Structure 1
Protein backbone atom coordinates (compact mmCIF):
# COMPACT_ATOMS: atom_id res chain seq x y z
CA UNK A 1 0.00 0.00 0.00
CA UNK A 2 1.45 3.38 -1.02
CA UNK A 3 2.47 5.52 1.94
CA UNK A 4 1.44 9.18 1.64
CA UNK A 5 3.16 12.21 3.17
CA UNK A 6 3.69 15.83 2.19
CA UNK A 7 4.46 19.40 3.15
CA UNK A 8 2.01 22.22 3.86
CA UNK A 9 2.60 25.96 3.68
CA UNK A 10 1.36 29.27 2.33
CA UNK A 11 3.06 29.72 -0.12
CA UNK A 12 4.43 26.29 -0.97
CA UNK A 13 5.70 26.52 -4.56
CA UNK A 14 9.27 27.23 -3.43
CA UNK A 15 9.58 24.06 -1.33
CA UNK A 16 12.33 21.59 -2.21
CA UNK A 17 10.94 19.00 0.21
CA UNK A 18 9.22 16.95 -2.54
CA UNK A 19 12.57 16.54 -4.35
CA UNK A 20 14.25 15.65 -1.07
CA UNK A 21 11.81 12.96 0.00
CA UNK A 22 11.39 11.76 -3.58
CA UNK A 23 15.14 11.08 -3.73
CA UNK A 24 15.00 9.06 -0.52
CA UNK A 25 11.93 7.13 -1.65
CA UNK A 26 13.71 6.09 -4.85
CA UNK A 27 16.98 5.39 -3.08
CA UNK A 28 15.41 3.03 -0.55
CA UNK A 29 12.87 1.49 -2.93
CA UNK A 30 9.87 2.54 -0.86
CA UNK A 31 6.33 2.59 -2.27
CA UNK A 32 5.48 6.12 -1.22
CA UNK A 33 4.44 9.56 -2.43
CA UNK A 34 5.37 12.96 -0.98
CA UNK A 35 3.37 15.96 -2.21
CA UNK A 36 3.26 19.74 -1.67
CA UNK A 37 -0.03 21.11 -0.35
CA UNK A 38 -0.92 24.80 -0.45
CA UNK A 39 -2.94 25.36 2.72
CA UNK A 40 -4.15 28.78 3.80
CA UNK A 41 -4.44 29.55 7.53
CA UNK A 42 -8.24 29.53 7.40
CA UNK A 43 -8.17 25.95 6.07
CA UNK A 44 -5.47 24.58 8.35
CA UNK A 45 -7.49 22.75 10.98
CA UNK A 46 -9.87 21.18 8.48
CA UNK A 47 -6.91 20.01 6.39
CA UNK A 48 -5.17 18.42 9.39
CA UNK A 49 -8.32 16.50 10.25
CA UNK A 50 -8.81 15.37 6.64
CA UNK A 51 -5.29 14.17 5.77
CA UNK A 52 -5.16 11.09 8.05
CA UNK A 53 -8.61 10.05 6.84
CA UNK A 54 -7.38 9.92 3.24
CA UNK A 55 -4.28 7.93 4.09
CA UNK A 56 -1.53 10.39 4.98
CA UNK A 57 1.07 9.14 7.46
CA UNK A 58 2.33 12.64 8.22
CA UNK A 59 3.43 16.02 6.91
CA UNK A 60 6.14 18.62 7.18
CA UNK A 61 5.04 22.14 8.07
CA UNK A 62 6.52 25.39 6.80
CA UNK A 63 5.61 29.08 6.96
CA UNK A 64 3.28 30.33 8.37
CA UNK A 65 1.80 27.31 10.16
CA UNK A 66 4.43 26.07 12.64
CA UNK A 67 2.92 27.67 15.72
CA UNK A 68 -0.68 26.99 14.72
CA UNK A 69 -0.15 23.24 14.16
CA UNK A 70 1.42 22.95 17.59
CA UNK A 71 -1.79 24.27 19.14
CA UNK A 72 -3.85 21.75 17.14
CA UNK A 73 -1.75 18.68 18.00
CA UNK A 74 -2.96 15.95 20.34
CA UNK A 75 0.52 14.98 21.58
CA UNK A 76 3.83 16.83 21.32
CA UNK A 77 7.51 16.07 21.92
CA UNK A 78 9.48 17.89 24.59
CA UNK A 79 11.45 19.84 21.99
CA UNK A 80 8.23 21.00 20.31
CA UNK A 81 6.73 21.93 23.67
CA UNK A 82 9.80 23.94 24.65
CA UNK A 83 9.23 26.33 21.73
CA UNK A 84 5.48 25.83 21.14
CA UNK A 85 6.02 25.25 17.43
CA UNK A 86 6.18 22.18 15.21
CA UNK A 87 7.48 21.37 11.75
CA UNK A 88 6.84 17.62 11.63
CA UNK A 89 3.47 15.94 12.19
CA UNK A 90 2.71 12.23 12.32
CA UNK A 91 -0.82 10.89 12.16
CA UNK A 92 -1.18 7.83 14.35
CA UNK A 93 -3.56 6.23 16.84
CA UNK A 94 -6.29 8.60 15.68
CA UNK A 95 -4.38 11.73 16.67
CA UNK A 96 -1.84 14.31 15.57
CA UNK A 97 1.67 13.91 17.00
CA UNK A 98 3.86 17.04 16.72
CA UNK A 99 7.64 17.32 16.74
CA UNK A 100 10.11 20.13 16.06
CA UNK A 101 13.26 19.10 14.20
CA UNK A 102 14.28 22.61 13.11
CA UNK A 103 16.82 22.97 15.90
CA UNK A 104 18.58 19.65 15.42
CA UNK A 105 18.55 20.17 11.65
CA UNK A 106 20.04 23.64 12.02
CA UNK A 107 22.86 22.55 14.35
CA UNK A 108 23.71 19.54 12.17
CA UNK A 109 23.92 21.79 9.13
CA UNK A 110 26.01 24.38 10.96
CA UNK A 111 28.48 21.78 12.21
CA UNK A 112 28.75 20.27 8.75
CA UNK A 113 29.09 23.57 6.90
CA UNK A 114 31.21 25.49 9.41
CA UNK A 115 33.06 23.07 11.68
CA UNK A 116 34.72 24.92 14.50
CA UNK A 117 32.30 27.86 14.40
CA UNK A 118 32.81 30.15 17.43
CA UNK A 119 30.07 28.74 19.67
CA UNK A 120 31.56 30.42 22.74
CA UNK A 121 30.38 33.85 21.58
CA UNK A 122 26.90 35.39 21.47
CA UNK A 123 24.67 34.74 18.46
CA UNK A 124 22.26 37.11 16.73
CA UNK A 125 19.03 35.63 15.37
CA UNK A 126 16.84 37.61 12.98
CA UNK A 127 13.17 36.67 13.21
CA UNK A 128 10.94 35.29 15.94
CA UNK A 129 8.68 32.79 14.15
CA UNK A 130 8.42 29.03 14.45
CA UNK A 131 11.84 28.30 12.94
CA UNK A 132 13.53 30.90 15.14
CA UNK A 133 12.08 29.27 18.24
CA UNK A 134 13.69 25.91 17.47
CA UNK A 135 16.98 27.50 16.47
CA UNK A 136 17.30 29.66 19.59
CA UNK A 137 16.67 26.64 21.81
CA UNK A 138 19.18 24.54 19.87
CA UNK A 139 21.88 27.22 19.99
CA UNK A 140 21.59 27.51 23.76
CA UNK A 141 21.63 23.72 24.12
CA UNK A 142 24.80 23.67 21.98
CA UNK A 143 26.57 25.98 24.44
CA UNK A 144 26.10 29.43 22.93
CA UNK A 145 26.26 31.72 25.99
CA UNK A 146 23.79 34.36 24.84
CA UNK A 147 21.33 34.88 21.97
CA UNK A 148 20.10 38.29 20.77
CA UNK A 149 16.79 38.20 18.91
CA UNK A 150 15.71 40.95 16.53
CA UNK A 151 12.31 41.02 14.83
CA UNK A 152 10.50 43.70 12.86
CA UNK A 153 7.58 43.29 15.28
CA UNK A 154 9.35 43.91 18.58
CA UNK A 155 6.69 42.22 20.72
CA UNK A 156 7.34 38.86 19.06
CA UNK A 157 11.07 39.09 19.74
CA UNK A 158 10.36 40.00 23.36
CA UNK A 159 7.96 37.06 23.76
CA UNK A 160 10.51 34.61 22.34
CA UNK A 161 13.39 35.98 24.43
CA UNK A 162 11.27 35.69 27.57
CA UNK A 163 11.24 31.91 27.12
CA UNK A 164 15.01 31.62 27.64
CA UNK A 165 17.09 33.13 30.49
CA UNK A 166 20.10 33.50 28.17
CA UNK A 167 18.23 35.32 25.40
CA UNK A 168 17.32 38.98 24.95
CA UNK A 169 15.26 40.96 22.47
CA UNK A 170 16.93 43.83 20.65
CA UNK A 171 15.47 46.48 18.40
CA UNK A 172 15.59 45.68 14.67
CA UNK A 173 17.63 48.79 13.93
CA UNK A 174 20.08 47.90 16.72
CA UNK A 175 21.13 44.71 14.93
CA UNK A 176 24.27 46.07 13.20
CA UNK A 177 25.80 47.20 16.51
CA UNK A 178 24.84 43.89 18.17
CA UNK A 179 27.01 41.99 15.68
CA UNK A 180 30.31 43.37 16.99
CA UNK A 181 31.13 40.54 19.43
CA UNK A 182 28.98 37.74 18.01
CA UNK A 183 30.21 34.50 16.50
CA UNK A 184 27.09 33.75 14.48
CA UNK A 185 24.40 35.63 12.57
CA UNK A 186 21.28 33.68 11.62
CA UNK A 187 18.48 34.90 9.35
CA UNK A 188 15.24 33.00 10.00
CA UNK A 189 12.97 35.55 8.29
CA UNK A 190 11.60 35.32 4.74
CA UNK A 191 13.47 38.50 3.80
CA UNK A 192 15.81 37.71 0.93
CA UNK A 193 13.68 34.82 -0.32
CA UNK A 194 12.73 34.88 -3.99
CA UNK A 195 9.74 37.19 -4.37
CA UNK A 196 10.24 38.81 -0.95
CA UNK A 197 11.86 42.14 0.00
CA UNK A 198 15.63 42.08 0.56
CA UNK A 199 17.21 41.78 3.99
CA UNK A 200 18.95 45.09 4.54
CA UNK A 201 21.30 44.61 7.50
CA UNK A 202 24.72 46.30 7.59
CA UNK A 203 27.57 43.87 8.32
CA UNK A 204 30.32 46.46 8.88
CA UNK A 205 30.83 45.57 12.57
CA UNK A 206 30.79 41.78 12.09
CA UNK A 207 34.04 40.04 13.05
CA UNK A 208 35.72 38.34 10.05
CA UNK A 209 35.57 34.90 11.66
CA UNK A 210 31.86 35.12 12.53
CA UNK A 211 29.66 32.69 10.60
CA UNK A 212 26.64 33.94 8.65
CA UNK A 213 23.83 31.53 7.84
CA UNK A 214 20.42 31.92 6.23
CA UNK A 215 17.64 29.36 6.47
CA UNK A 216 16.28 30.66 3.15
CA UNK A 217 17.33 28.30 0.34
CA UNK A 218 15.54 29.87 -2.63
CA UNK A 219 17.81 31.39 -3.79
CA UNK A 220 20.56 29.19 -2.39
CA UNK A 221 22.95 32.13 -2.11
CA UNK A 222 20.91 34.99 -0.70
CA UNK A 223 22.08 38.58 -0.81
CA UNK A 224 22.98 38.29 2.89
CA UNK A 225 25.25 35.31 2.23
CA UNK A 226 26.79 36.94 -0.84
CA UNK A 227 27.60 40.12 1.09
CA UNK A 228 29.05 38.12 3.99
CA UNK A 229 31.20 35.98 1.69
CA UNK A 230 32.44 39.07 -0.15
CA UNK A 231 33.86 40.43 3.11
CA UNK A 232 35.43 37.09 4.00
CA UNK A 233 32.99 35.66 6.52
CA UNK A 234 32.30 31.90 6.50
CA UNK A 235 28.76 31.21 5.29
CA UNK A 236 26.30 28.31 5.50
CA UNK A 237 23.31 28.20 3.15
CA UNK A 238 19.83 27.11 4.14
CA UNK A 239 19.75 23.85 2.23
CA UNK A 240 21.63 21.86 4.86
CA UNK A 241 19.07 22.63 7.53
CA UNK A 242 16.29 21.52 5.19
CA UNK A 243 18.05 18.20 4.55
CA UNK A 244 18.86 17.39 8.16
CA UNK A 245 15.52 18.43 9.65
CA UNK A 246 13.71 16.16 7.18
CA UNK A 247 15.33 12.90 8.25
CA UNK A 248 13.31 12.21 11.46
CA UNK A 249 10.00 12.70 9.65
CA UNK A 250 10.99 10.42 6.79
CA UNK A 251 12.01 7.72 9.27
CA UNK A 252 8.71 8.03 11.15
CA UNK A 253 6.49 7.90 8.05
CA UNK A 254 8.35 5.59 5.69
CA UNK A 255 10.22 3.32 8.13
CA UNK A 256 13.79 3.90 6.91
CA UNK A 257 16.51 6.07 8.45
CA UNK A 258 17.81 8.14 5.51
CA UNK A 259 21.33 9.40 4.86
CA UNK A 260 22.12 13.08 4.32
CA UNK A 261 24.95 13.15 1.79
CA UNK A 262 26.20 14.89 -1.35
CA UNK A 263 23.93 12.81 -3.58
CA UNK A 264 20.90 14.11 -1.69
CA UNK A 265 22.11 17.69 -1.98
CA UNK A 266 22.59 17.33 -5.73
CA UNK A 267 19.15 15.79 -6.13
CA UNK A 268 17.45 18.58 -4.20
CA UNK A 269 19.28 21.27 -6.14
CA UNK A 270 18.11 19.56 -9.33
Structure 2
Protein backbone atom coordinates (compact mmCIF):
# COMPACT_ATOMS: atom_id res chain seq x y z
CA UNK A 1 0.00 0.00 0.00
CA UNK A 2 1.43 3.43 -0.95
CA UNK A 3 2.51 5.66 1.93
CA UNK A 4 0.78 8.96 2.65
CA UNK A 5 3.45 10.95 0.81
CA UNK A 6 3.59 8.49 -2.08
CA UNK A 7 -0.16 8.88 -2.60
CA UNK A 8 0.19 12.66 -2.80
CA UNK A 9 3.11 12.43 -5.23
CA UNK A 10 1.12 10.04 -7.42
CA UNK A 11 -1.75 12.54 -7.45
CA UNK A 12 0.63 15.32 -8.50
CA UNK A 13 2.05 13.10 -11.22
CA UNK A 14 -1.48 12.62 -12.58
CA UNK A 15 -1.91 16.40 -12.78
CA UNK A 16 1.38 16.73 -14.62
CA UNK A 17 0.52 13.88 -16.98
CA UNK A 18 -2.90 15.30 -17.86
CA UNK A 19 -1.32 18.59 -18.92
CA UNK A 20 1.75 17.15 -20.65
CA UNK A 21 0.25 17.62 -24.10
CA UNK A 22 -0.62 21.29 -23.59
CA UNK A 23 1.94 22.64 -21.14
CA UNK A 24 5.68 22.50 -20.71
CA UNK A 25 6.57 20.21 -17.81
CA UNK A 26 10.00 21.85 -17.64
CA UNK A 27 8.67 25.40 -17.54
CA UNK A 28 10.96 28.01 -16.04
CA UNK A 29 8.16 29.34 -13.83
CA UNK A 30 5.86 26.67 -12.44
CA UNK A 31 2.91 27.57 -10.24
CA UNK A 32 0.03 25.55 -8.77
CA UNK A 33 -3.41 26.18 -7.30
CA UNK A 34 -4.40 24.16 -4.21
CA UNK A 35 -8.09 23.88 -3.41
CA UNK A 36 -11.34 21.99 -3.84
CA UNK A 37 -13.82 22.28 -6.71
CA UNK A 38 -11.48 24.52 -8.71
CA UNK A 39 -12.09 23.08 -12.17
CA UNK A 40 -13.75 26.28 -13.38
CA UNK A 41 -11.03 28.59 -12.05
CA UNK A 42 -9.70 31.11 -14.57
CA UNK A 43 -6.63 31.93 -12.50
CA UNK A 44 -4.41 29.42 -14.37
CA UNK A 45 -5.49 30.84 -17.74
CA UNK A 46 -4.82 34.44 -16.65
CA UNK A 47 -1.36 33.59 -15.33
CA UNK A 48 -0.27 31.55 -18.33
CA UNK A 49 -1.55 34.11 -20.85
CA UNK A 50 0.27 36.95 -19.09
CA UNK A 51 3.39 34.82 -18.84
CA UNK A 52 3.35 34.24 -22.61
CA UNK A 53 2.76 37.94 -23.27
CA UNK A 54 5.84 38.79 -21.21
CA UNK A 55 7.93 36.10 -22.93
CA UNK A 56 8.14 33.87 -19.86
CA UNK A 57 8.20 30.07 -19.87
CA UNK A 58 5.24 29.90 -17.48
CA UNK A 59 3.04 26.98 -16.43
CA UNK A 60 0.21 26.97 -13.91
CA UNK A 61 -1.36 23.68 -12.73
CA UNK A 62 -4.71 23.41 -10.91
CA UNK A 63 -4.38 20.81 -8.15
CA UNK A 64 -7.96 19.94 -7.21
CA UNK A 65 -8.15 17.90 -4.01
CA UNK A 66 -11.70 16.81 -4.89
CA UNK A 67 -10.75 15.54 -8.34
CA UNK A 68 -7.63 13.81 -7.00
CA UNK A 69 -9.43 12.18 -4.06
CA UNK A 70 -7.14 13.82 -1.50
CA UNK A 71 -7.96 14.60 2.11
CA UNK A 72 -7.49 17.95 3.87
CA UNK A 73 -4.73 16.28 5.87
CA UNK A 74 -2.76 15.87 2.61
CA UNK A 75 -2.19 19.63 2.33
CA UNK A 76 1.24 19.59 3.96
CA UNK A 77 2.46 16.66 1.88
CA UNK A 78 1.25 18.35 -1.32
CA UNK A 79 2.98 21.59 -0.39
CA UNK A 80 6.21 19.64 0.06
CA UNK A 81 5.68 17.70 -3.17
CA UNK A 82 5.19 20.74 -5.40
CA UNK A 83 8.22 22.41 -3.90
CA UNK A 84 10.28 19.28 -4.60
CA UNK A 85 9.05 19.37 -8.22
CA UNK A 86 10.49 22.85 -8.71
CA UNK A 87 7.36 24.95 -8.44
CA UNK A 88 8.00 28.66 -7.84
CA UNK A 89 4.95 28.82 -5.58
CA UNK A 90 1.25 28.11 -5.23
CA UNK A 91 -2.01 29.94 -4.88
CA UNK A 92 -4.32 28.63 -2.18
CA UNK A 93 -8.10 28.75 -2.21
CA UNK A 94 -11.09 27.23 -0.42
CA UNK A 95 -10.82 25.54 2.05
CA UNK A 96 -7.11 25.95 2.81
CA UNK A 97 -6.44 29.69 3.26
CA UNK A 98 -6.12 29.43 7.03
CA UNK A 99 -5.18 25.76 7.35
CA UNK A 100 -1.97 26.34 5.41
CA UNK A 101 -0.55 28.95 7.80
CA UNK A 102 0.99 26.50 10.32
CA UNK A 103 2.76 24.76 7.42
CA UNK A 104 4.68 27.87 6.32
CA UNK A 105 8.04 29.24 7.43
CA UNK A 106 7.13 32.94 7.36
CA UNK A 107 4.23 35.28 6.64
CA UNK A 108 4.18 38.71 5.05
CA UNK A 109 2.96 41.52 7.28
CA UNK A 110 -0.38 41.66 5.46
CA UNK A 111 -0.96 37.92 5.65
CA UNK A 112 -0.11 37.93 9.33
CA UNK A 113 -2.50 40.81 10.03
CA UNK A 114 -5.32 39.19 8.03
CA UNK A 115 -4.75 35.68 9.31
CA UNK A 116 -5.22 34.06 5.90
CA UNK A 117 -2.94 33.15 2.99
CA UNK A 118 -3.81 32.76 -0.68
CA UNK A 119 -0.30 32.93 -2.16
CA UNK A 120 2.79 30.97 -1.13
CA UNK A 121 6.20 31.79 -2.61
CA UNK A 122 9.05 29.26 -2.46
CA UNK A 123 12.62 30.53 -2.17
CA UNK A 124 15.96 29.71 -0.59
CA UNK A 125 14.56 31.26 2.60
CA UNK A 126 11.72 28.73 2.72
CA UNK A 127 7.97 29.12 2.24
CA UNK A 128 6.48 32.58 2.65
CA UNK A 129 2.74 33.20 2.80
CA UNK A 130 1.12 36.30 1.32
CA UNK A 131 -2.42 37.58 0.95
CA UNK A 132 -3.37 39.20 -2.35
CA UNK A 133 -7.13 38.83 -1.78
CA UNK A 134 -7.31 42.00 0.30
CA UNK A 135 -5.81 44.09 -2.50
CA UNK A 136 -7.91 42.20 -5.03
CA UNK A 137 -11.23 42.95 -3.34
CA UNK A 138 -10.40 46.59 -2.58
CA UNK A 139 -9.25 47.30 -6.14
CA UNK A 140 -12.24 45.47 -7.60
CA UNK A 141 -14.67 47.54 -5.55
CA UNK A 142 -12.96 50.78 -6.54
CA UNK A 143 -13.01 49.87 -10.22
CA UNK A 144 -16.38 48.11 -10.32
CA UNK A 145 -18.53 50.28 -8.07
CA UNK A 146 -16.57 53.52 -7.77
CA UNK A 147 -17.57 55.64 -4.81
CA UNK A 148 -20.25 53.86 -2.79
CA UNK A 149 -21.42 54.49 0.77
CA UNK A 150 -19.60 52.37 3.33
CA UNK A 151 -21.07 53.81 6.50
CA UNK A 152 -22.22 50.35 7.58
CA UNK A 153 -21.38 47.15 5.72
CA UNK A 154 -22.64 43.66 6.46
CA UNK A 155 -20.25 40.84 5.61
CA UNK A 156 -21.53 37.27 5.45
CA UNK A 157 -18.72 34.82 6.15
CA UNK A 158 -15.66 34.96 8.41
CA UNK A 159 -13.40 32.36 6.81
CA UNK A 160 -10.11 32.81 4.98
CA UNK A 161 -11.48 34.96 2.18
CA UNK A 162 -13.69 36.81 4.65
CA UNK A 163 -10.67 37.84 6.70
CA UNK A 164 -9.15 39.53 3.64
CA UNK A 165 -12.44 41.17 2.67
CA UNK A 166 -13.03 42.58 6.15
CA UNK A 167 -9.55 44.10 6.17
CA UNK A 168 -10.19 45.59 2.72
CA UNK A 169 -13.49 47.10 3.89
CA UNK A 170 -11.70 48.73 6.81
CA UNK A 171 -9.01 50.11 4.46
CA UNK A 172 -11.75 51.41 2.15
CA UNK A 173 -13.10 53.50 5.01
CA UNK A 174 -16.00 51.45 6.32
CA UNK A 175 -17.18 53.07 9.54
CA UNK A 176 -19.03 50.00 10.85
CA UNK A 177 -18.72 46.35 9.81
CA UNK A 178 -21.13 43.65 10.95
CA UNK A 179 -19.72 40.14 10.42
CA UNK A 180 -22.23 37.30 10.29
CA UNK A 181 -21.18 33.66 10.35
CA UNK A 182 -22.80 30.40 11.42
CA UNK A 183 -19.65 29.87 13.49
CA UNK A 184 -20.13 32.60 16.08
CA UNK A 185 -16.68 32.18 17.60
CA UNK A 186 -15.07 32.63 14.19
CA UNK A 187 -17.07 35.82 13.58
CA UNK A 188 -16.09 37.12 17.00
CA UNK A 189 -12.41 36.41 16.40
CA UNK A 190 -12.44 38.19 13.04
CA UNK A 191 -14.35 41.17 14.40
CA UNK A 192 -11.84 41.55 17.22
CA UNK A 193 -8.92 41.23 14.80
CA UNK A 194 -10.24 43.89 12.39
CA UNK A 195 -11.15 46.27 15.21
CA UNK A 196 -7.71 45.90 16.79
CA UNK A 197 -5.82 46.37 13.52
CA UNK A 198 -7.83 49.30 12.18
CA UNK A 199 -9.86 50.91 14.95
CA UNK A 200 -12.98 50.21 12.92
CA UNK A 201 -16.20 49.51 14.81
CA UNK A 202 -16.59 45.82 13.97
CA UNK A 203 -19.25 43.55 15.45
CA UNK A 204 -19.90 39.82 15.29
CA UNK A 205 -23.55 38.99 14.64
CA UNK A 206 -25.44 35.71 14.73
CA UNK A 207 -27.41 34.63 11.65
CA UNK A 208 -30.63 35.24 13.60
CA UNK A 209 -29.91 38.99 13.45
CA UNK A 210 -29.26 39.04 9.70
CA UNK A 211 -32.54 40.71 8.73
CA UNK A 212 -31.96 43.44 11.31
CA UNK A 213 -28.41 44.29 10.27
CA UNK A 214 -29.06 44.13 6.52
CA UNK A 215 -31.95 46.57 6.90
CA UNK A 216 -29.53 49.16 8.31
CA UNK A 217 -26.65 48.47 5.90
CA UNK A 218 -25.33 50.57 3.05
CA UNK A 219 -23.83 47.48 1.42
CA UNK A 220 -23.61 43.71 1.80
CA UNK A 221 -20.73 41.36 0.89
CA UNK A 222 -20.97 37.60 0.48
CA UNK A 223 -17.64 36.16 1.60
CA UNK A 224 -18.88 32.59 1.94
CA UNK A 225 -18.48 29.80 -0.65
CA UNK A 226 -22.29 29.49 -0.93
CA UNK A 227 -23.16 30.16 -4.54
CA UNK A 228 -20.13 28.42 -6.05
CA UNK A 229 -20.75 25.73 -8.63
CA UNK A 230 -19.61 23.28 -5.96
CA UNK A 231 -21.98 24.79 -3.35
CA UNK A 232 -24.97 26.25 -5.21
CA UNK A 233 -27.57 28.29 -3.40
CA UNK A 234 -27.98 31.64 -1.67
CA UNK A 235 -26.02 32.80 1.40
CA UNK A 236 -29.07 34.73 2.61
CA UNK A 237 -32.55 35.72 1.48
CA UNK A 238 -32.20 38.46 -1.21
CA UNK A 239 -35.67 39.62 -0.20
CA UNK A 240 -33.97 41.36 2.73
CA UNK A 241 -32.23 43.77 0.33
CA UNK A 242 -33.37 47.26 -0.65
CA UNK A 243 -32.74 49.00 -4.02
CA UNK A 244 -30.48 51.71 -2.55
CA UNK A 245 -27.95 49.16 -1.28
CA UNK A 246 -24.95 47.69 -3.08
CA UNK A 247 -24.11 43.98 -3.05
CA UNK A 248 -20.74 42.33 -3.69
CA UNK A 249 -19.95 38.65 -4.11
CA UNK A 250 -16.44 37.20 -4.06
CA UNK A 251 -17.47 34.15 -6.10
CA UNK A 252 -16.78 34.17 -9.83
CA UNK A 253 -17.57 30.64 -10.92
CA UNK A 254 -20.33 30.74 -11.88
CA UNK A 255 -19.50 34.15 -13.35
CA UNK A 256 -22.74 35.55 -11.95
CA UNK A 257 -24.14 34.00 -8.81
CA UNK A 258 -27.81 33.74 -7.95
CA UNK A 259 -27.24 36.40 -5.30
CA UNK A 260 -25.82 38.90 -7.78
CA UNK A 261 -28.57 38.20 -10.28
CA UNK A 262 -31.40 38.58 -7.78
CA UNK A 263 -29.86 41.65 -6.14
CA UNK A 264 -29.64 43.33 -9.55
CA UNK A 265 -33.30 42.50 -10.20
CA UNK A 266 -34.18 44.26 -6.94
CA UNK A 267 -32.33 47.37 -8.14
CA UNK A 268 -29.12 47.10 -6.14
CA UNK A 269 -25.76 48.02 -7.60
CA UNK A 270 -23.85 44.76 -7.82
CA UNK A 271 -20.23 43.62 -7.94
CA UNK A 272 -19.55 40.05 -9.13
CA UNK A 273 -16.39 38.30 -7.99
CA UNK A 274 -14.53 38.53 -11.30
CA UNK A 275 -12.75 41.76 -10.46
CA UNK A 276 -11.36 40.37 -7.23
CA UNK A 277 -10.16 37.28 -9.13
CA UNK A 278 -8.31 39.47 -11.64
CA UNK A 279 -6.65 41.82 -9.20
CA UNK A 280 -5.56 39.14 -6.73
CA UNK A 281 -4.01 37.33 -9.70
CA UNK A 282 -2.19 40.51 -10.76
CA UNK A 283 -0.53 40.84 -7.37
CA UNK A 284 0.23 37.10 -7.13
CA UNK A 285 1.81 37.07 -10.61
CA UNK A 286 4.22 39.77 -9.53
CA UNK A 287 5.18 37.82 -6.41
CA UNK A 288 5.76 34.60 -8.35
CA UNK A 289 7.60 35.99 -11.36
CA UNK A 290 9.20 39.23 -10.18
CA UNK A 291 7.72 40.90 -13.27
CA UNK A 292 5.04 43.59 -13.46
CA UNK A 293 1.90 42.23 -15.18
CA UNK A 294 -0.61 44.38 -17.04
CA UNK A 295 -3.95 44.38 -15.17
CA UNK A 296 -5.85 45.33 -18.33
CA UNK A 297 -4.40 42.41 -20.26
CA UNK A 298 -5.21 39.98 -17.46
CA UNK A 299 -8.75 41.39 -17.29
CA UNK A 300 -9.12 40.88 -21.06
CA UNK A 301 -8.07 37.25 -20.68
CA UNK A 302 -10.57 36.77 -17.88
CA UNK A 303 -13.37 38.34 -19.96
CA UNK A 304 -12.51 36.18 -22.96
CA UNK A 305 -13.03 32.98 -20.98
CA UNK A 306 -15.71 34.08 -18.52
* TM-score tier (shorter): over 0.9
Aligned to 1:181: 216
Q: Distance in 2 between matches of 1:63 and 1:69?
A: 11
Secondary structure, aligned partner of 1:138: helix
Name the residue aligned to 2:60.
Answer: 34
Task: Say whether residues 1:226 and 2:252 are aligned partners.
Answer: no
1:113 to 144, 162, 169: 144
Give the match's secondary structure for 1:218: coil
Q: Which one has a bigger Cα radius of gyration?
A: 2
Unmatched tracts of structure 1, length 5 or more: none
- Give the counterpart of 1:248 among 262, 266, 283: 283
Question: CA-atom RMSD, angstroms?
Answer: 1.6
Corresponding residue number in structure 1 for 2:301: 264
SS of equivalent to 2:98: helix
Task: Work out which of the residue numbers 88, 104, 118 in structure 1 matches 2:119.
Answer: 88
Greater Cα offset, 192-201 or 46-55: 192-201
Partner Cα separation in structure 2 for residue 17 and residue 268 of structure 1 = 11
Partner Cα distance (1:170, 1:30) in 2: 47
Show CA shifts across 1:91-131 (max 9, x none).
01141000011111001001111001112x11111111100
1:53 aligned residue = 84
Q: Deviations over 1:50-87 (max 9, x none)?
A: 22221100110000110011221111111111122100
Alignment-derived partner of residue 8 in structure 2: none
Q: Distance in 1 between matches of 2:213 and 2:161?
A: 21
Moved more, 153-162 or 51-60: 153-162
SS in 2 for 1:162: helix
Contact 2:52–2:58, Cα closer than 8 Å, also in 1: no
Name the CA distance, whole Å, in 1 between partners of 2:93 and 2:176.
27
Of 43, 51, 62, the match for 1:25 = 51
SS in 2 for 1:66: coil
Give 1:46 deviation, angstroms: 1.1
Select between 12-21 and 200-209 the one with higher mean Cα deviation. 200-209
Q: Secondary structure at the match of 1:5?
A: strand
Give, in angstroms, the shift of residue 181 of structure 1: 2.5
- Please give the per-residue CA displacement for 1:235-267, whole angstroms capped at 9, x wherever unaligned: 011011011011122112223211222423323
Say which SS state the counterpart of residue 63 (structure 2) adopts.
strand
Asked if 1 retains the 8 angstrom alpha-carbon contact of 2:242 and 2:267, the reply is no
Contact residue 37 and residue 230 of structure 2 kept, 8 A: no
Q: How many correspondences in the alignment?
A: 268
- Equivalent position of 1:14 in the other structure: 40
2:176 matched to 1:150?
A: no
TM-score, with normalisation over the residues of structure 1? Answer: 0.94
8 Å Cα contact 1:176-1:201 kept in structure 2: no
8 A Cα contact 1:117 1:210, kept in partner: no
